[in-house]
């Protein structure tokens, strides 16, 4: 009777844990940072916007993120590659993941180590590599994580191993996943296999890295996700990762005039593809530096559309052109490797609208849907590796404008760090401002995604030195404007800001010795479409002024307006006075 009670309690615990997994809205979003510094509040704010987070946060940082987003699933960024000189040499196969990370023997034949020593808080004695790694992976629970994310967990080894056969490697990974699950039944375990993973179903899921680069043929995505929905641990989580450098212009090899797969098309392709299933999360990274671990996350208007809940499974409109209906609209994804035209007639009797968006107002223009050309081309010239496009349509008009954040680092395609900027579509310009690449150490709470980014600044002067943040406004209306500066008593107490808006100019003095490391409101203003508005800071102050980041938050006033004049009245006589 006691055994039955223990089993029943365990089952109830597992069921409760699964039931507590939040029902994230669509599209479901994921973000990854392989490092986060202790004093970096801007990164925590960015991470907290997403549903699924992989980042090595401290317990205090986890608490702050949960305060901002109680529904987030938070996993640490871990790896299957351990440093060679940190673990017993008996576990070493002599092969490398990277120059510094060794490939340990994950097979069942790995010897059990007997002796002193520990690493990452877990002793080696009496364990083989599987045992030790399983304990390390579940030790993250003590820090407040929901599970563990593990990099470098492949379907088969991506190099020709002389140490392990394919079957030895796969069996070892399967048993490692099972040991992790046994140690932490309620844990969420997601791994990066880069391509389709077809074993280790004790895990919750895996990540496709840099779609569609590591998938061939593309149809394997559909087969593998269906497989995991049937066999994977619940809740099943599959991450579709897409990356853009922001400045790429890809030409169709067969038609040089046909520009395809730009920043926005890549984003729409990944987003709409992810919405075809319930278990898939989209991760979109902007920048170079190793995808997806060191690239800036990007927030699309599409992430904020109120599409509702699914009304069924996805279906094909035409070969490899997929759609899925939701309570508030429909999503369409072109994975056919060639351009396709979709008309309202293809979608049935329902009436749909494009939502009105701030980032791509010509595409997401708020108009009643009649037709759209969704681009597509064969990546690397192979039709089995499509790079496509997609669209989200809604049943009733919506205005969706993501926050416009302009950082002082600017977007510079010729600069390594400039490619990491989040300023796509907007500009930061300056004249005479100074930049100290080492100041990130003393201005740790500046707005930055990357560890070594910092701020422009200027000593007090006559106002000839200035910085200007110029947003590209796609939807006119009222925006609340915020500024961010790091905390320091060395700064000016009267930093002069000018807000150029649709109704003129407003001047504001900011005490930059106070309220550092947070957004500070400069007021609400009307902005017209385009780039006529801006925020400017000069050095006409009593101390050092810091030009960090500016944020524009849309409040309204840009809804679709009826611009069609009424028909002339009939049967009405105008009486002259």
**Same-domain status, 177 and 132:** yes
Q: Is residue 466 part of a domain?
A: yes
CATH of the domain at 252: 3.20.20
Q: How far is CA 565 from CA 202, 559, 562, 570, in A?
A: 63, 18, 8, 15
Query: Which of 149, 156, 151 is closest to 290 using CA atoms?
Result: 151
Q: Is residue 319 part of a domain?
A: no
Q: Is residue 47 part of a domain?
A: yes
Q: Would you say 169 and 157 are in contact if contact means Cβ atoms under 8 Å apart?
A: yes
Direct distance between the N- and C-terminal alpha carbons of the chain, in angstroms, rounded to an integer: 99
Q: Is residue 325 part of a domain?
A: no
Taken in order 60, 62, 65, 70, the sign of the CA dihedral is negative
**Same-domain status, 380 and 471:** no
Q: How far is CA 547 from CA 319, 440, 544, in A?
A: 51, 14, 10
Q: Is residue 489 part of a domain?
A: yes
DSSP character string of 240-295: EEEEE-SS--EEETTEEEEEES-HHHHHHHHHHHHTTSSSEEEEEEESSSSTTTTS
Q: What is the reported pLDDT for 11?
A: 37
Beta 329-334 vs 504-510: how paired, if at all? unpaired
**Same-domain status, 169 and 223:** yes
**Same-domain status, 8 and 147:** yes
Q: Would you say 153 and 137 are in contact if contact means Cβ atoms under 8 Å apart?
A: no
Q: Which domain holds residue 510?
A: 404-556
Q: What is the reported pLDDT for 285?
A: 82
Q: Using the 3D structure, point to which of 384, 400, 416 is the last residue of a domain.
A: 400
**Same-domain status, 336 and 279:** no
Q: Residue holding tokens 């549903």?
A: 51
**Same-domain status, 140 and 201:** yes
Range list of β-strands (E), 86-245: 92-96, 101-104, 118-119, 122-123, 147-151, 188-194, 205-208, 237-244
Query: Which of 243, 247, 251, 245 is closest to 269 using CA atoms?
Result: 243
Total domain count for the chain? 3
Q: What is the reported pLDDT for 159?
A: 76
Query: Which of 59, 64, 98 is closest to 80 using CA atoms?
Result: 98
Q: Which residues make beta-bridge pairs with 535? A: 469, 499
What are the phi and psi torsion angles at 560 (to 5°)? -60, 130
For residue 89, give the 3-state DSSP assignment: helix
Q: Which residues make beta-bridge pairs with 238? A: 206, 280
CATH of the domain at 422: 2.60.120.260
**Same-domain status, 12 and 89:** yes
Q: Is residue 320 part of a domain?
A: no
**Burial class of residue 544 in the structure, from the number of CB atoms within 10 Å of its CB (0-12 exposed, 13-18 middle, 19+ buried):** middle
**Same-domain status, 341 and 277:** no
Cα separation of 236 and 215, whole Å?
Answer: 20
Structure-token pair, residue 207: 């990540």
**Same-domain status, 394 and 360:** yes
Q: What is the reported pLDDT for 22?
A: 72
Q: Which residues make beta-bridge pairs with 563? A: none
**Same-domain status, 436 and 547:** yes
DSSP character string of 34-65: S---SS-HHHHHHHTTSSEEE----HHHHHHH
Q: Is residue 234 part of a domain?
A: yes
**Same-domain status, 388 and 419:** no
**Same-domain status, 247 and 112:** yes
Q: What is the pLDDT along the chain (577 residues), one digit of tens a residue?
A: 444 333 333 333 333 234 346 789 999 999 988 778 877 888 899 999 999 999 999 999 999 999 999 999 999 999 888 877 899 999 998 887 665 667 889 999 999 999 999 999 999 999 999 999 999 999 999 999 999 999 989 999 877 788 899 999 999 999 999 999 999 999 999 999 999 999 999 999 999 998 877 777 888 999 999 999 999 999 999 999 988 766 555 555 555 555 555 788 889 999 999 999 999 999 998 765 444 445 577 899 999 999 999 999 999 999 999 999 999 999 999 999 999 999 999 999 999 999 999 999 999 999 999 999 999 988 877 888 888 999 999 999 999 999 999 988 644 444 444 444 455 778 889 999 998 766 656 788 888 876 666 789 999 999 999 999 999 999 999 999 999 999 888 899 999 999 999 999 999 999 999 999 999 999 999 999 999 999 999 999 999 999 999 999 999 986 543 333 445 555 545 444 4
Write b or e for each residue in 461-495: b if 16 or more Cβ atoms lie within 10 A of its Cβ, otherwise e: eeeebbbbbbbbbbbbbbbbbbbbbbbbeebbeeb
Q: What is the reported pLDDT for 211?
A: 84
Q: Is residue 274 part of a domain?
A: yes
Q: Using the 3D structure, point to which of 400, 428, 443 is the last residue of a domain.
A: 400
Query: Which of 360, 333, 371 is closest to 242 using CA atoms?
Result: 333
How many CB atoms neighbour CB 196 within 10 A?
19
Q: Using the 3D structure, point to which of 373, 400, 427 is the last residue of a domain.
A: 400
């Amino acid at each position: 009777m006691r055994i039955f009670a223990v089993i029943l309690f365990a089952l109830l615990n597992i069921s409760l844990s699964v039931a507590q997994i939040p029902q994230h809205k669509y599209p479901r979003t994921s973000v990854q940072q392989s490092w986060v510094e202790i004093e970096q509040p801007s990164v925590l704010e960015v991470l907290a916007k997403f549903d699924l987070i992989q980042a090595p946060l401290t317990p205090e940082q986890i608490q702050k993120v949960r305060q901002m987003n109680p529904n987030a699933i938070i996993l640490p960024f871990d790896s299957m590659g351990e440093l060679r000189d940190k673990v017993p040499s008996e576990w070493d196969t002599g092969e490398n993941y990277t120059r510094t990370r060794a490939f340990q023997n994950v097979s069942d034949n790995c010897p059990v180590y007997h002796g002193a020593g520990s690493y990452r808080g877990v002793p080696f004695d009496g364990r083989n590599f599987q045992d030790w790694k399983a304990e390390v992976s579940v030790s993250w629970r003590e820090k407040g994580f929901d599970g563990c994310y593990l990099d470098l967990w492949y379907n088969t080894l991506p190099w020709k191993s002389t140490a392990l056969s394919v079957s030895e490697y796969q069996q070892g990974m399967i048993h490692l996943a099972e040991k992790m699950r046994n140690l932490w039944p309620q844990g969420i375990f997601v791994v990066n296999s880069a391509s389709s993973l077809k074993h280790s179903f004790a895990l919750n899921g895996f990540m496709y890295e840099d779609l569609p680069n590591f998938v061939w043929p593309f149809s394997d995505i559909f087969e593998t996700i269906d497989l995991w929905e049937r066999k994977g641990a619940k809740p099943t989580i599959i991450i579709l990762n897409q990356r853009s450098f922001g400045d790429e212009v890809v030409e169709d090899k067969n038609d040089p005039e046909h520009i395809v797969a730009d920043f926005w098309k890549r984003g729409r392709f990944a987003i709409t593809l992810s919405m075809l299933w319930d278990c898939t999360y989209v991760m979109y990274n902007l920048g170079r530096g190793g995808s997806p671990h060191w690239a800036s996350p990007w927030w699309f208007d599409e992430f904020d559309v109120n599409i509702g809940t699914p009304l069924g499974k996805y279906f094909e409109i035409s070969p490899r052109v997929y759609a899925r209906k939701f309570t508030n609209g429909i999503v369409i994804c072109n994975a056919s490797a060639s351009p396709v035209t979709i008309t309202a007639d293809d979608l049935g009797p329902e009436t749909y609208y494009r939502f009105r968006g701030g980032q791509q107002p010509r595409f997401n223009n708020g108009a009643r849907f009649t037709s759209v050309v969704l681009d597509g081309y064969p990546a690397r010239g192979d039709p089995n590796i499509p790079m496509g496009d997609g669209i989200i349509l809604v049943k009733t008009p919506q205005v969706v404008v993501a926050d416009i954040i302009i950082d002082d680092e600017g977007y510079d395609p010729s600069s390594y760090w400039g490619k990491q900027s989040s300023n796509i579509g907007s500009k930061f310009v300056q004249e005479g401002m100074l930049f100290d690449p080492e100041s990130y150490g003393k201005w740790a709470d500046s707005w930055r995604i990357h560890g070594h980014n910092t701020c422009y600044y200027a000593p007090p002067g006559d106002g000839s030195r200035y910085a200007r943040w110029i947003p590209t406004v796609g939807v006119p209306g009222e925006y609340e404007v915020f500024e961010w500066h790091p905390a320091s008593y060395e700064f000016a107490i009267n930093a002069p800001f000018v807000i150029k808006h649709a109704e003129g100019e407003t001047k504001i003095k900011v005490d930059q010795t106070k309220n550092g490391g947070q957004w500070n409101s400069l007021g609400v203003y009307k902005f017209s479409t385009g780039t006529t508005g801006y925020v400017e800071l000069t050095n006409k102050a009593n101390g050092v002024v810091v030009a960090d980041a500016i944020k524009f938050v849309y409040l309204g006033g840009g809804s679709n307006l009826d611009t069609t004049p009424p028909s002339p009245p009939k049967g009405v006589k105008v009486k002259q006075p």
